[in-house]
Amino acid sequence: MRAIVKRRSALSLLLVLAIGAAAPAQDGKRRQMRAGAATSNITPPLGSLIVGNWDSPPATYVHDELHARVLVLDDGDTRVAIVVSDNLGIPRNVCDAAKRIVNEKTGLPVTHMLMAATHTHSAASARSGDYTEDGLNEYQRFLATRIADGVLRAIANLEPAQIGWGVGREPSQVFNRRWRMKPNSPELRNPFGGIDLVRMNPPVGHPDLIEPAGPTDPEIHFISVRSPSGRHIALLANYSLHYVGGVPRGHISADYFGVFAERIAELLKAEKQDPPFVGILSNGTSGNINNINFRGDDPPRKWKPYEKMHAVANQVAAEVLRAMQTVQYHDFVSLGIAQTEIPMGIRVPSEADLKWANSVLSRPPGAPSTHVREAIYAQRTLDMRKLPNQIPLILQALRIGDVGIAAIPAETFVDIGLEIRKRSPFKQTFTISLANGSYGYLPTVEQHKLGGYETWRGTNLLEVEAAPKIIDALIHLLQSLQAGKSPQ
């Protein structure tokens, strides 16, 4: 493996870059990829607090088990591990702990592991000391250990493999959830006593709706891995849809991400294999995307619990299967992975912010308020006093043949994913959100100006100028990987 370390003074970045060599080996033998996949059960115990909504009820029922799904690829010079876990968002200290376990047991560099969360809203919290190096709680230790176990098992399953990639489209399930509304609409009030220019998830068909405040991304990117004989090993897909929901209170579920994993196995007739086929659906840039048609003329359909997530997952899986029919598989492609850390400001509250928060929380019970979430955001404002003014934000880029993958530790707006794809030097590029950490929403600077839920302090943590800094750093990483490409 060739390891190159260099410093970018402009962004004060430390870049760690590893790139595989050319296809033909020096002894004349044709080179062969290897791949391994595995899953680890990460289901929390009943009684764990479920996060993702405005309250956190205890788990009373496990509808479907949660998993960390792992794909390991090896081109003979570079080995990378990609992990996607059923969780709302996994903080960096948990990812780092899992990576350290794998590194100690196998020697795989921590910079060669991408660990992301799906963003299911029906899992126990992995957060506690999210933004510092605090000690891990019981579930975090369990989660880190099980994620590491999954990587170790996938490495043990490494075998000769072929790899291909492609893109499908499913526009019917993605809608921008931020809407411009008529000025002074009561729907535009925010918890801080102000008026926003957009509303997240407005009432369907509301008369004050004007237009969506941003684009969508209907593309489904995927990487398919199979044995030379054609047996499917794994499939990693990426779709920019936040989550689906429709889960009863107190239920644990992997949401449509888990349903997709099962459905794509069924469609590929790979349900009962040894070692098992692993289907993986990662969360794209879906921070401002859901599958609600707010302009819907007809009354919204009443879905039964879990019905809608199955419908969405089935559609996404069917489109991936259709697109797979024209995929060209390769016995060998070069792999590359690059990682950097950039200094990133945190929106620590000012004295004025703290004064407002204290005034809200000191009101007597039953006192009138300006917003239904006012007290929640007042408490979040006080809680943010404990955060540092700046953190090192981890960013990654991967190269798999002609595919570039960006990894961002936040709920990334679709606008950002589209810009990364446009500026990327690779023929195909997608972004995995909530990767290697979880730092709240990542809007563009322009979207910050519009306000709305995803920009509110307490929902949003990173500095307003975060998006352009992150995009520029990731493009530099992707360009570095492309520059190391050898002819095949």
Whether the predicted pLDDT of 6 surpasses 80? no
How confident is the model at residue 18, as a pLDDT? 62
Name the helix (H) or strand (E) containing 46: none
Lowest mean per-residue pLDDT among 130-139, 358-367, 476-485? 130-139
Lowest mean per-residue pLDDT among 5-9, 164-168, 312-316, 409-413? 5-9
**pLDDT confidence of 484, banded at 50, 70, 90?**
confident
How confident is the model at residue 287, as a pLDDT? 98
The percentage of residues in the chain with a pLDDT greater than 90, rounded to a whole number, is 86
Indicate the DSSP class of residue 58.
Answer: B
Chain mean pLDDT for the chain: 92
Burial class (CB in 10 A: 0-12, 13-18, 19+), 472: middle
Please write the tens of the pLDDT for every residue from 321-345.
999 999 999 999 999 999 999 999 9
Other Cβ atoms closer than 10 A to 36: 25
Whether the predicted pLDDT of 115 surpasses 60? yes
Whether the predicted pLDDT of 470 surpasses 60? yes
How confident is the model at residue 127, as a pLDDT? 82
Residue 2, SS3? Answer: strand
Tell me if the pTM is above 0.85.
yes
- Among all chains, which residue has been given the structure tokens 């990829």? 33
**pLDDT confidence of 290, banded at 50, 70, 90?**
very high
How far, in Å, CA of 46 to CA of 139, rounded? 12
How confident is the model at residue 365, as a pLDDT? 86
- What's the whole-number mean pLDDT along residues 286-295? 95
What beta strand segments (E) does 148-269 contain? 159-169, 175-176, 178-181, 198-200, 209-212, 219-226, 232-239, 251-252
How confident is the model at residue 7, as a pLDDT? 33
How confident is the model at residue 27, as a pLDDT? 53
Closest CA to 459 of 389, 405, 379: 379
Q: Is omega for the bond preceding 44 within 30 degrees of 0, making it cis? A: no
Please write the tens of the pLDDT for every residue from 373-396.
999 999 999 999 989 999 999 999
